[in-house]
Structure 1
């Protein structure tokens, strides 16, 4: 792709494609399980923090002489390769968690469409998740990717389907529901919507992929700025609309099988037209398409992001070849294997929480970096302050939610995080450690 190929519409499509579709199908059930009728408030709050993080990214990008994303910003404004590498590793774990989340939802909707729930006494869901990841790993190894025009069309279709779902759902609720819409106003004074907002944060991370493809974007600073400010509010609108409709039309489904409650809501809203089954099938097929394309797009972006880190010596050479034409094959395979394992053994709540934690850390750090630049140029201190404060609030609430709801996952996350940090420090500070060891050996030999 040559310089300046992508304009504003394509950039908005990329940003929305990273948020709309896979995210809502995967996280809605988890979020609604925490705060039910106030689900809309959780999405709104998460969207506010995401917009503030987006402002921070745009501010850092405008001030920097280098074009890039989180890792570049840390290198530029902090000058610490260890911190830059740790931010990059955290993002990669977030991408893995996102793909595992999409693969989980893909399998759930596959079962909802008619696949048996178990075969020979073994659950089908983990196997389907693994097979889905394997299929998209194979596609990426073959070099398949969506063209810019096709991406615009596909994102438009996903957006249209979800908007139609929301509008028809509201029509049904107002005309046939027989009861006023529930908005969970009584829950707004509790911590539930804030915890749910933190859990849903992973559904708002797709826009930052734009910062890693700036060489292909016309007038990247201004185009990305505008695309971010368009895409995040649109995603918030869709999530709020879908959340209100699903909570009001399928409350029992959210209790019994929350991961595919959208299907039940679609069936309910189409029942007056005699199309209940068709509505459920159409929504499920849309979910398969959306979550599948989300796996493919995230794997493609994550592999190229990792390639950039390999070039900067921020990942071991064994991970992949930085000089490879396109995404390094070993990198794609490694990301796929870790994603498949994660999707097979993790619960959707745990996977979603893990991915959201990763992006909360990175987005909060970038907001803090932008706040530090408040005296430079025209950087307003308020949005970065809100982004950093929101992330700082989300992080402990996320951990507390994991501890309360899935204590085993909570301890697993702590152990994994500690192990990852230890490996990162050993890798990035290996030169310092080698010098210290040599000094100790020389002292011992005297």
Structure 2
């Protein structure tokens, strides 16, 4: 079946969904989840993936139900929940900024591991990669479908090659090497903590009008992509840990896959995994910055962000949004820890996905058994992650709590003072 010229067909849509999730997820989260779930880290990825699958189903059904893209913000507007939509949009934008910070930190850690000049390298290179991708976004250049397909297949082949090598050298004792005995509860906490590894597929809902036959293409591409990513994450979690042991995954959590690649294939493996990590995180930063700027424009048009934010340069790019989002992410790269950034980003997306599943359940968009499962498990995972943050990083929870309070109570005052566009 031919694709309409200028539209994204199934292959490009599928590749963008896979790329949006793998974009930095497994490279940055494996050490975090092994530290929480131990030998059951693979189960954490399965549990988080099932929630993501229900959320993905809810997203595509709501997009078809409303016959428009734009994600959670526009779905809530469609049912006249303007105040909640504005609040959630602010929270979601924060989630994307946190995610970009995670990708940039991961990029810096992998590059810094290869260069080995000092502890300052990861932070500096992380800030530099964000600055680098601000420039094409100021020219209004996003990620093209052809480029994304090429990058995705390179990442998938590299990850599957590494995982397969570890699985061939089957070594189950390595999964629990140097870590406490795992439990089902720990695996569920691990799933909540690294849920950001599955965010990214919903970026396609912002491109709904650019997809060829979206009511058919989007569900097939998104749901199959989530299933493939679940399988890849499980294979990588098992294969990598069997190669170097759970204790080394935790010890080198920022660059665990590079350590595994070096052990498997020497310098060649180290270089290939580092290149894959650089491509993954770089393309994810570019795509997320591009999509978040488009979301910011959409939110500003509907009067839920100050009108001044929605400024466009001569190339038609939302320059103030791009620069502002990039600068905030760079500050987080300079000041935040990887674990705190991962968990904070995971909480924002768990909450957003739970809301989307609940909305799909209420509107009977799709099978209520699936959307209800997503709403219930997403909410439970939010509670689990709040408990986890209270114990491990209460400052991150306070940071998110303050942002939510600002979005709830400070946003209306700020919008009245600064002025907005009429929705």
Name the residue aligned to 1:89: 90
Q: Within the alignment, does 1:52 sit opposite 2:54 as a pair?
A: yes
Residue 315 of structure 1 corresponds to 305
Query: Unpaired runs of 5+ in structure 2?
Result: 419-423
> Distance in 2 between the 1:324 and 1:394 partners?
44
Distance 2:157 2:147 in 1: 15
Q: How does 1:46-445 map to 2 (within 5 A)?
A: 46-77=48-79, 79-118=80-119, 123-171=120-168, 173-174=169-170, 182=175, 189-251=183-245, 252-270=247-265, 276-321=266-311, 325-374=315-364, 379-427=366-414
- 7 and 110 in structure 1: CA distance in 2 versus 1, 3 angstrom threshold: same
The offset of 1:414, in angstroms, is 2.4
Cα 1:69/1:16, change in 2 over 3 Å: same
State how far apart, in whole Å, the 1-side matches of 2:70 and 2:195 are.
Answer: 22
Q: Give secondary structure in 2 for the equivalent of 1:413.
A: helix
User: 1:196 deviation in Å?
Assistant: 0.9
Following TM superposition, by how much is the alpha carbon of 1:109 offset from its aligned partner in structure 2, in angstroms? 0.7
User: More displaced, 188-197 or 352-361?
Assistant: 188-197
- Match of 2:409, SS state, is helix
Q: TM-score, normalised by structure 1?
A: 0.87
Change in CA separation of 1:210 and 1:134 when aligned onto 2, cut-off 3 Å:
same
Alpha-carbon shift at residue 183 of structure 1 (Å): 7.8
The answer to whether the 8 Å contact 1:110/1:288 transfers is yes
- Once residues 181 and 66 of structure 2 are traced to their aligned partners in structure 1, the CA distance between those partners, rounded to angstroms, is 42
Q: Distance in 2 between matches of 1:359 and 1:255?
A: 24
1:149-192: CA deviations, max 9, x gaps? 12111111111111111112212x23xx5x666489x9664321
Distance 1:60 1:255, change over 3 A: closer
Report the secondary structure of 2:305's partner residue: coil
* 1:428–1:383 CA distance, 2 compared to 1 (3 A): farther
Q: Shift of the alpha carbon at 1:285?
A: 2.1
1: CA distance between counterparts of 2:37 and 2:148? 34
Write the deviation string for residues 276-301 of structure 1: whole angstroms up to 9, x where unpaired: 12211221222122111111111111
Confirm or deny: 8 A CA contact 1:126 1:343 kept in the other structure: yes
User: Which protein is bigger by CA-based radius of gyration?
Assistant: 1
- Equivalent in the alignment of 1:17: 19
Do 1:308 and 1:322's aligned partners in 2 also have CA atoms closer than 8 Å? no
Q: Deviations over 1:86-137 (max 9, x none)?
A: 121121111101100001101111111124124xxxx333222211211111
**In 2 relative to 1, CA 268–363 (structure 1 residues): closer, same or farther, beyond 3 Å?**
same
Change (3 A) 1:183 1:368: farther
CA distance 1:345–1:38, change in 2 (3 Å): same
Alpha-carbon distance between aligned partners in 2 of 1:81 and 1:429, rounded to the nearest angstrom: 15
Q: CA deviation at 1:50?
A: 0.6
Distance 1:181 1:250 in 2: 7
| TM-score, reference length from structure 2 | 0.91
Deviation at 1:3, TM superposition (A): 7.3
